[in-house]
Structure 1
Amino acid sequence: MANHVFVQNNAAMRAVPVEERENFWHKLVKFYETGQQDDLNDFLYKTSIGIMQGGLTMEKTREIEERNRKWLGLE
């Protein structure tokens, strides 16, 4: 799945946590060998995908936070 698909659906792909990387590789190999993606999808949703608040991209969220800091005189 491409990151743009996640962004279009208000989700953001994050890095797989270090402690889950071996598990990730096993699930990824299984996906490539069988074509079945349910196990990999479940794993990614539990460990590596987050919902963006308000449906905003991280870049837009940072822009808003920066504008708010300036407005509040924090910069």
Structure 2
Amino acid sequence: LFPTRNGTQVATRYVRAVVKRMARRAGIAEAEKVSPHTLRHTFATDLYAETTNLRLVQKALGHADVSTTQIYT
């Protein structure tokens, strides 16, 4: 998902560390619990709250089955 300058993939551990660091800098309570998945989940929850369009959320997240997306309702 995040390629380096030489075309290799950025390590998952590095991405998690960057997200946690940015959460701390942003002053988010319990920043240590913030992860890339937290960001994805928040995006989906907020999108559904704004639109109430489950199919839109499904498409945005790339879920093949809408039942996977229903956890955001």
- The two structures have a TM-score, normalised by structure 1, of 0.28
- The structure, 1 or 2, with the larger RCO (C-alpha pairs under 8 Å, 6+ apart) is 1
Structure with max Cα Rg: 1
- The two structures have a TM-score, normalised by structure 2, of 0.28
